[in-house]
DNA sequence: GAACTATACGGAACCGCGTTCCGCTTTGTC
DNA sequence: GACAAAGCGGAACGCGGTTCCGTATAGTTC
């Protein structure tokens, strides 16, 4: 995926990896992470051989899509922070994170499948989300809009559990629960 | 499996179902629940066709093995009750239940796979284990060996969680934890 | 116990999926 | 424009679940 050493990546190769990541994200979102590799290949307008050239194992593709979507969610944090007040940015990002989690249903099982391709994902998740949320929290705390006794990691986990557990109940149940949680953050502000 | 209606089961058919259940239990125990059907068939000395005659879907076989082992564990309760004092019978059965849970590692994932063959299993689990443990508890309480504020269902769940969570730590970690729990039961006896 | 039929058996065959292989195409360079 | 390296496509392989069907057998009837 991410190449560094001397060898330069050919233009078509780069184009194909991008197309594959995009196609895979779409296919996994609609058909679940168990969708056949061929389906992804077709959607990307590419042969299976090409998929396996870029992602030696099926699980590498899944992991790459995961990392990719973690990145885009984490990268949204500074953008929101620049465009909104601290409290609102925090709330908006948590909603964004909520929908990220919602698309990761099938993955939860895969993560515990023992496939080594997934070993590094939890660390990646924390490494990207904790700082992202940490910054938002800090600003909100500094602005006095939010209490100061909440750890980013705990909040991430809490929201994730809330979403994964309450998903059967109804569509925007998760959204409401997360709103509730955010209100909870706002409650105990020390003057 | 369990036939009732007019049609009588042929002797060889019955022999084969039994052999299959036994073989499947053995294979699943060593190779996990994902072991190939063919492996079970071979171990049972039977063709694949025969497996599918008795268990239309692979998951039906898995479910049948599960029910079978639930039964044998639940049936142990009255036997232990007859052979030991109330408190000891309770402790011994919980250890038996502990090792039952230990063999069900891979199944936990399967249960949430959405396969309809597994839908009825949780109810079966409760239906057999709650009465079994309930009787043991009741006797122990009546004998004044154990406190009276514990629900069978809660205890079953607690032990299961204890075992499934602590399994990575070490072999008899579960055993010690369950012993601890039993001691906890004995602690608060009201005179 | 021989004939007969419903029932059950075995395993080859089929299908979908992950993965590999390899002859052909494209890119980048001189 | 020619050449080699890098990349591509898709046929082909192996494996696992499931189906099919010709054959064998249990149980029954005389």
Please count the other Cβ atoms lying within 10 Å of the Cβ belonging to residue A32. Answer: 11
Which residues, 6+ apart, have CB-to-CB distance to B85 below 8 Å? B143, B145
Q: Where in chain A is the domain with CATH 1.10.357.10?
A: 64-187
pLDDT in tens, A33-48: 999 999 999 999 999 9
Instruction: List the single residue in A with minimal CA-CA distance to B112.
Output: A109
pLDDT digits (tens, 9 = 90+) for B39-70: 999 999 999 999 999 999 999 999 999 999 99
Q: What is the dihedral of CA A51, A52, A57, A61, to 10 degrees?
A: -20
Using the structure, give the distance in angstroms from the CA atom of A3 to the C1' atom of D10, rounded to a whole number. 27
The shortest C-alpha distance from A182 to chain B (Å) reads 30
pLDDT in tens, A87-108: 999 999 999 999 999 888 888 8
Cβ-based contacts of B113 with chain A (< 8 Å)? 109
CB atoms within 10 A of CB A144: 13
Distance in Å from D30's C1' to B18's CA comes to: 34
Angstrom distance, B57 CA to D13 C1':
26
The CATH 1.10.10.60 domain(s) of chain A lie at 1-56
**Per-residue flag: A12 CB under 7 A of strand C:** yes
What fold characterizes domain B1-56? Arc Repressor Mutant, subunit A (1.10.10)
Q: Give the integer Cα–Cα distance in Å for A5 and A3.
A: 6
- Cβ(B40)–Cβ(B24) below 8 Å: yes
Contact at CB, A112 and B112, closer than 8 angstroms: no
Closest chain B residue to A113, measured at CA: B109
A-to-B residue pairs, Cβ atoms closer than 8 angstroms: 4
**CATH 1.10.357.10 region(s) of chain B?**
59-187
CATH architecture of B59-187: Orthogonal Bundle (1.10)
The CATH code that applies to domain A64-187 is 1.10.357.10
Predicted confidence at residue B5, as pLDDT, reads: 56
**How does residue A132 score in pLDDT terms, banded at 50, 70 and 90?**
very high
Query: Span B145-162, mean pLDDT?
Result: 92
Q: At CB < 8 Å, which residues of chain B contact A? A: 109, 112-113
Q: Provide the mean pLDDT of chain A.
A: 91
Span A136-157, pLDDT tens digits: 999 999 999 999 999 999 999 9
pLDDT band at A3 (very low <50, low <70, confident <90, very high): very low
Closest-CA residue of A relative to B110 is A109
């Amino acid at each position: 995926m991410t190449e560094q050493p001397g060898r330069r990546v050919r233009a078509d190769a780069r184009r194909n990896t991008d197309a594959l990541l995009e196609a895979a994200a779409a296919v996994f979102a609609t058909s679940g992470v168990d969708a056949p590799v061929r389906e992804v290949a077709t959607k990307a307008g590419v042969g299976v051989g090409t998929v396996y050239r870029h992602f030696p194992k099926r699980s590498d593709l899944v992991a790459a899509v995961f990392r990719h979507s973690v990145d885009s969610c984490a990268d949204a944090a500074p953008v929101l922070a620049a465009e909104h007040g601290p409290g609102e940015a925090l709330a908006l990002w948590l909603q964004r994170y909520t929908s990220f989690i919602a698309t990761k249903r099938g993955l939860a099982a895969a993560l515990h499948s023992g496939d080594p391709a997934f070993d590094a994902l939890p660390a990646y998740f924390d490494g990207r989300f904790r700082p992202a949320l940490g910054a938002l929290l800090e600003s909100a705390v500094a602005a006095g809009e939010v209490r100061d006794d909440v750890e980013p990691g705990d909040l991430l986990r809490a929201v994730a559990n809330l979403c994964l557990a309450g998903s059967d109940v109804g569509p925007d149940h998760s959204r409401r629960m997360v709103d509730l949680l955010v209100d909870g953050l706002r409650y105990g502000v020390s003057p």
